[in-house]
Amino acid sequence: MALFGKPKYTIVKIRKREIPEGLWTKCPGCGEPLYKKTLEENLLVCPKCQHHFIMTALERLKMIVDEDALKEFDTELASADPLEFKGVKSYKQKIAEDQKTTELREAVVTGEGDIFGKKAVVAVTDSRFIMGSMGSVVGEKVTRATEKATRKRLPLVIVSGSGGGARMYEGILSLMQMAKTSAALKRHHDAHLLFISVLTNPTMGGVMASFAGLGDIIIAEPKALLGFAGPRVIEQTTRQKLPEGFQRSEFMLEHGLVDMIVPRKELKETLHRLIDYLS
C-alpha cells in the first residue's frame, strides 16, 4: 500500500544564506539592529533614538578638523612603567595590548588644525586606551598642547572621554597631572585665550576634576555620563536614591555644570561659531 511504501514527495534541503559578520550592530539605547555603514555615515549616532556611540580619537578628529589640516604634536611620547606595576596583567602588557588594539601610542592625540578655516589647537582622548585615563604622558601631551596654544595665541579645544580618570598604574605621578594641566590652562586663561571643553560619554574621575571641567565654554554630548565618582558608588556611600538621570548631560545642564548640549552632527559648526565669536 502507498501508505507504507515510498513517499511520493522529495525532501529538498535549502541552505541558509550566510550573512557576513560585522555588517550589523545593535543599538544599546533602543535595541534596534543597525547597518554599520549607515551608522558610520550618521557619525555613529543611532537614527532611531539618537544614542551616541563611542568614537575613537581619530574618528573625532576627522569629524572636527578640516580634511588634511591636522598637524599632530608629540607623536613619539609613550608611557613607561615607573612603579613596575604588577597585577593580573602588568602595566607594560596593558600598554602593549592597547597600543596594538587602538594603533595609538597613548590615550590622547594632540595637534593643530583648522575648524572650517579657523585655526585651533585640539586634543582628543580615546576611551579604548586604558579607558582614556590620564597618566604622565596624557598629562604631558595635554599640557604641551595648551602651552603651544598659549604661545601661538590660538583657541584650545579638548574633547574628553575618560571612564578611568587618573591612571592607577602610575599612582601619585598620575594625580600630579591634574595640577599640571590645570596650571597650564590657568596661564592660557590669563592670556585671555579661549578654551572649549567637550565632554563625551563617559567623562569621569581625575579628568573631569581637572582639565575637562575648566573650559570657558563646556559642551556635552547628549546623555553622556559626567562626574567624579559614578552614581552606583555615590548611592552606596550616601545610602540615598539618586534622582532620575543623575550625572547625565541633561541633569548637568539643568544644574549649571555644562553650558550647552550639542548633538554630534552640530559640533563642528558650533565650535567654529564659538571660536569666531569669542577668539
Could you tell me if 39 and 59 lie in one domain? no
Within-domain flag for 8: no
Within-domain flag for 14: no
Whole-prediction pTM: 0.89
Within-domain flag for 148: yes
Could you tell me if 44 and 175 lie in one domain? no
Could you tell me if 197 and 226 lie in one domain? yes
Could you tell me if 80 and 67 lie in one domain? yes
Specify the CATH number for the domain of residue 111. 3.90.226.10
> According to the model, what pLDDT value does residue 12 have?
58
Within-domain flag for 117: yes
> According to the model, what pLDDT value does residue 11 have?
62
Could you tell me if 88 and 30 lie in one domain? no
> According to the model, what pLDDT value does residue 13 have?
60
Number of domains comprising the chain: 2
Query: Cα–Cα distance between 264 and 40 in angstroms, integer?
Result: 12
Within-domain flag for 238: yes
Largest pairwise CA distance in the chain: 101
Query: Cα–Cα distance between 73 and 121 in angstroms, integer?
Result: 10
Within-domain flag for 11: no
Could you tell me if 40 and 139 lie in one domain? no
Q: Which of 36, 55, 57 is closest to 221 using CA atoms?
A: 55
- Residue 194, C-beta contacts closer than 8 angstroms, at least 6 positions apart: 155, 156, 216, 217, 274, 275, 278, 279
**Contact by Cβ (8 Å): 221, 52:** yes
Query: Cα–Cα distance between 76 and 186 in angstroms, integer?
Result: 26
Per-residue pLDDT of the chain (279 residues; tens, 9 = 90+): 555 555 565 665 656 555 456 789 999 999 999 999 999 999 999 999 999 999 999 999 999 999 999 999 999 999 999 999 988 899 999 999 999 999 999 999 999 999 999 999 999 999 999 999 999 999 999 999 999 999 999 999 999 999 888 999 999 999 999 999 999 999 999 999 999 999 999 999 999 999 999 999 999 999 999 999 988 999 999 999 999 999 999 999 999 999 999 999 999 999 999 999 998
Domain that holds residue 46: 22-53
Within-domain flag for 12: no
What does the block give as the cell for 233?
Answer: 558608588
β-bridge pairing 33-35 and 24-26: antiparallel
> According to the model, what pLDDT value does residue 18 have?
54
Could you tell me if 65 and 49 lie in one domain? no
**Contact by Cβ (8 Å): 218, 179:** no
Could you tell me if 124 and 74 lie in one domain? yes
